[in-house]
Amino acid sequence: MKKILFLLVILSTILLGKDINTDELLKNLDNSEWIIVDTRHSNEYNGWNLSNLKINGHIKGATDISSNWLDAKYLNSKNKDILKQRVLEKGITPEKNIVLYGTSKNMEKVKDYLKENGIEKIYFYDLEKNKDYDKLPFETYANYEILVPATWVKDAMDKNEVKVFEVSWGSIKDAAVYLAGHIPGAPHINTDGIEPPPKWMLNTDENLIKFAKEMGIYKNDTVVLYGEDVMASYRLAIILKYLGVKDVRVLNGGLDAWKAAGYKTDMGIVKPNSIKDFGSRIPLNKSLIVDENGAKEVLKDNKNSKILVDIRSYNERVGRESGYSYMDRKGRIAGSVWGKAGTKSTTLEDYRNIDNTMRNGYEIISMWSGLGIDSNKELTFFCGSGWRAAEVLFYSQVMGLKNNAIYSNGWMEWSENSSNPIEVGEEK
């Protein structure tokens, strides 16, 4: 009888998962056979306290599988493959003990997904049941507050403490997504204002400040940027930081995150209220953006303290394609180091979760390390024309990395000068 009961207990643990307490979890935090997994929204993992906890952030060393990623709207065939690969990269394999933590609803959803993929040794650590969870070492990203959840944006808007803008390429007449439904009160920003056609290189300092005034952005403002394509938001965020805007934030996950939070959208056009004075005639954070000569200085660094990091697809990197219909020359900047990006010039899968939120910092740093990129050095990111590189630079700021920059015009500018050294083909 005792043997039968014992077997039933074991079977129950396998099928349902077993609760563990704080002391048990503390004993196994540094055990490589145990993987700790945060199942909450990535905003909470980053550092936002959205559940009225006594402490912010995630358990130190924990990885993440947000239950949010398992919503049907994210799990198309491509994302399913990405998520399955990410699970392996997180070290979640059948032989490991997997501890899921968060709330019961979040944990159950992630448990079901893992079991469907052959993971059986699952334990639960419920933050609602274990009131002594603050005995565990928690950590946040140094600057998690610049990457904001929808709840924070809504609260700041209700208090009239923030200016919110939707950002995308194209005129207001072309911005069908904006016209169909945008955050109430948010004007639309066409990125042509910061990088005019036909080359879409960075506008002059004078014109960038003029643009800020036209949009009603003052240097002491708190500004939140979002869009359906989140990349455009990060592109503008870095430029506003370059100009010296005091507090620039991006909505983590973009317009979809606003809708997922259950907040309403408005149709039609909201016009910005222009201002006469930005507060400065020149950019106040000039070191954030470098030009072609600045990129060459990074490459010539004799102290080996700086790296020029290529945030483009592999096919762009080796010269199989330029990535852009209006860009002919192919290859890479000689001396730069590949930092990955996505499968094409418009995507950034290697830096995002499948709901277009920021990928966790452990994984970004680990990816860089595997590519020969030391995150303790000064990193200058570039891509084709600045969008992907800006997003990665912003993520590096969220993590608290210092002295990083962007070569804004990137391969677009570098490849135009036939005297600039380039390389093509596989790297040794």
Active site residues: 383
**Which residue, among 114, 96, 157, has the nearest Cα to 15 in the 3D structure?**
114
163-168 and 222-226 beta bridge pairing? parallel
Kindly write down the DSSP assignment for every residue of 93-160, as one continuous string: -TTSEEEEEE-HHHHHHHHHHHHHTT---EEEEETTT-TTGGGS-EE--TTGGGEE-HHHHHHHHHTT
| Residues 336/337/340/343 CA torsion (nearest 10 deg) | 50
State the CB neighbour count (10 A cutoff) for residue 414.
22
Which residues pair with residue 307 across a beta bridge?
379
Tokens representing 235?
Answer: 């592109």
Measured in degrees and rounded to the nearest 5, phi and psi for residue 181 equal 175, 115
The first and second tokens of residue 4, run together, are: 């039968």
Residues 6+ apart with CB under 8 A from 354: 69, 74, 75, 79, 82, 83
d(CA 141, CA 391) in angstroms, rounded, equals: 16
